[in-house]
């Protein structure tokens, strides 16, 4: 192995996945003065940007502005985008290792965690991740159906994804039609008969995973009153003493915000969003057609676990909620990738400072890296991926300088393109995506929306062929 990353011997990097983690990795690579690089990004879908396009809520357009920085990365002559190309199907690990010094996986967390309770698999019980992907027009989820003809729904979990789902369920059609929500979702939500949405936290308000700006926004919905029970905000002694330490200012503020929200009188809006704490679903009950007909809850109390965290344990107090539709929002989960090690318990590729680690011997696998959620698990906001990518790139640059990355068998940049085109004639380049982007925005402008998304692969490819 010899030194690479110089102007004579640029470091050739393949990034698998085009979400924020992938793009921030490319950005960090281009920013380094000590490194000359060529970056190719592989994406399973024709459209780039991963969770920015398919995860961020449609009524949070500002967050989607992150793509401006990604466009700048993509405009560099040393960058190529291979969209509609799937790792493990159109390109294998061996292909990538033959053509690149370094391969970095940025595939995120593509599935959900489960609650592990009876009835979870009933009709009208869904992972929140699928609902999110559906309303954001993800091609894999556009044909899913969600029965919004019922009146009472529950979202399990109180993280920011749960907040997004509850908020979208409570938005009025007028609020939604200003966004880039998928057209079919807009129509389904327009016809929604939902009147009551429960959000259920298994721990107390001081431990809620949502951030303060997000919960405040729940108090500002045009069509729904946020109801928080004052009794849920009376802190147990463990939470009280934890907050009194004063080292978690955000948690203190969170409790203050919730108390202010609880003190407000409902305004008689069409929908009610009921935020509850210290409860866990223990069972979903079924009607005769196998659909959710109700939810049995247990009230929890907090205890201090061995690791020092406050965790919930069930009491013997139970309650039934008349919910007919359930979204479990209890966390995303990474998916194992072909030919790579995987840590089942955390749902991540095992790594050390961004270097993929062989679990057999605990040593880094030369030339393989990870970044984003598939590296650290599904936590943090879009911007969290920036320093995370920085760490991975620092490892990669260090390895290149020390001659620790393997020399690829083929250094011809055209060779991988030929190989990809052979296996996937419908490869989508970044210029193709820009045409689709312009088309979506043009359609949106006609109806006063940021964009009208192309949600079907066939439609997107036909658009490219025709335009």
Give the interface with ligand NAP as residue ranges (CB under 6 A).
Answer: 115, 156-162, 164, 201-203, 207, 209, 214, 280, 329-332, 378-381
| CB nearer to ligand NAP: pick between 278 and 460 | 278
| CB nearer to ligand NAP: pick between 300 and 455 | 300
| CB nearer to ligand NAP: pick between 347 and 367 | 347
| CB nearer to ligand NAP: pick between 113 and 421 | 113
Return the DSSP state at 383.
G
In the block, tokens 């490194």 appear at: 35
Rounded distance, CA 186 to CA 176, Å?
7
| CB nearer to ligand NAP: pick between 321 and 330 | 330
The CA radius of gyration of the chain, in Å to the nearest whole number, is: 24
Selection from 102, 92, 110 nearest residue 340 by Cα? 92
CB of 114 to ligand NAP, least distance (A): 8
In the block, tokens 């999110």 appear at: 132
Q: Which two tokens stand for residue 381?
A: 């906001």
Q: What is the largest CA-CA distance in the chain?
A: 71
Which residue is at the shortest CB distance from ligand NAP? 159
CB of 133 to ligand NAP, least distance (A): 13
| CB nearer to ligand NAP: pick between 89 and 346 | 346
CB of 395 to ligand NAP, least distance (A): 23
CB of 198 to ligand NAP, least distance (A): 12
Please report the beta strands in 262-375, taking only residues with DSSP state E, as ranges in sequence order: 271-276, 279-286, 292-304, 310-321, 325-328, 332-333, 351-352, 355-358, 363-370
CB of 235 to ligand NAP, least distance (A): 15
Rounded distance, CA 253 to CA 212, Å?
7
Q: Which two tokens stand for residue 346?
A: 């955390």
Return the DSSP state at 258.
H
DSSP assignments along 95-147, one per residue: HHHHH-SEEEE-----EE-----TTTTSBTEEEHHHHHHHHTT-TTTTT----
CB of 159 to ligand NAP, least distance (A): 2
Rounded distance, CA 168 to CA 57, Å?
8
| CB nearer to ligand NAP: pick between 381 and 409 | 381
Residues 6 or more apart whose CB falls under 8 angstroms from that of 463 comprise 435, 436, 439, 454
Region for residue 171 given its phi and psi (left: phi exceeds 0; alpha: psi -120 to 50; beta: otherwise): beta
Between strands 292-304 and 279-286, the pairing is antiparallel
| CB nearer to ligand NAP: pick between 271 and 328 | 328
| CB nearer to ligand NAP: pick between 24 and 79 | 24
CB of 167 to ligand NAP, least distance (A): 10
In the block, tokens 């109806």 appear at: 447
Output phi, psi for 310, to 5 deg: -90, 125
CB of 22 to ligand NAP, least distance (A): 17
CB of 227 to ligand NAP, least distance (A): 18
Q: Which two tokens stand for residue 258?
A: 């919730």
CB of 35 to ligand NAP, least distance (A): 30
Selection from 114, 110, 56 nearest residue 87 by Cα? 110
| CB nearer to ligand NAP: pick between 38 and 202 | 202
């Amino acid at each position: 192995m010899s030194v690479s990353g110089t102007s004579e011997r640029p470091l050739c990097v393949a990034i698998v996945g085009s979400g924020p983690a992938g793009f921030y990795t490319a950005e960090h690579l281009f920013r380094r003065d000590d490194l000359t690089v060529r970056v190719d990004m592989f994406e399973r879908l024709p459209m780039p940007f991963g969770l920015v396009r398919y995860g961020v809520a449609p009524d949070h357009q500002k967050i989607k502005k992150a793509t401006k920085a990604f466009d700048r990365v993509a405009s560099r002559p040393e960058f190529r985008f291979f969209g509609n190309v799937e790792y493990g199907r159109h390109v294998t690990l061996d292909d990538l290792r033959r053509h690149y010094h370094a391969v970095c996986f940025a595939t995120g967390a593509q599935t959900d965690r489960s609650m592990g309770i009876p009835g979870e698999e009933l009709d009208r019980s869904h992972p929140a991740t699928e609902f999110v992907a559906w309303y954001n027009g993800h091609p894999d989820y556009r044909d899913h159906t969600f029965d919004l003809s019922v009146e009472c729904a529950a979202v399990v979990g109180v993280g920011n994804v749960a907040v997004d789902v509850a908020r979208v369920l409570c938005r009025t059609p007028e609020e939604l039609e200003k966004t880039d929500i998928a057209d079919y979702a807009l129509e389904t939500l327009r016809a929604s008969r939902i009147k009551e949405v429960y959000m259920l936290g298994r721990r107390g308000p001081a431990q809620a995973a949502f951030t303060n700006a997000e919960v405040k926004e729940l108090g500002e919905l045009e069509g729904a009153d946020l109801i928080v029970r004052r009794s849920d905000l009376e802190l147990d002694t463990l939470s009280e003493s934890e907050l009194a330490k004063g080292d978690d200012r955000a948690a203190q503020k969170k409790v203050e915000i919730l108390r202010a929200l609880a003190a407000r009188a409902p305004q008689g809006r069409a929908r009610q969003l009921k935020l509850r704490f210290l409860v866990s679903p223990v069972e979903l009950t079924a009607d005769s057609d196998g659909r959710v007909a109700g939810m049995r809850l247990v009230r929890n109390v907090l205890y201090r676990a061995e690791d020092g965290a406050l965790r919930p344990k069930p009491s013997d107090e139970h309650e039934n909620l008349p919910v007919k539709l359930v979204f479990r929002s209890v966390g995303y989960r990474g998916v194992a990738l072909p030919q790579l090690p995987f840590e089942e318990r955390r749902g991540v590729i095992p790594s050390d400072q961004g270097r993929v680690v062989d679990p057999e011997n605990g040593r880094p696998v030369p030339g393989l890296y990870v970044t984003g959620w598939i590296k650290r698990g599904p936590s943090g906001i879009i911007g969290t991926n920036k320093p995370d990518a920085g760490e991975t790139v620092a490892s990669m640059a260090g390895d290149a300088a020390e001659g620790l990355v393997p020399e690829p068998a083929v250094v011809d940049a055209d060779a991988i393109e030929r190989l990809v085109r052979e296996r996937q004639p419908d490869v989508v380049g970044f210029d193709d995506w820009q045409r689709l982007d312009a088309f979506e925005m043009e359609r949106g402008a006609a109806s006063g929306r940021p964009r009208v998304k192309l949600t079907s692969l066939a439609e997107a490819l036909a658009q490219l062929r025709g335009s």
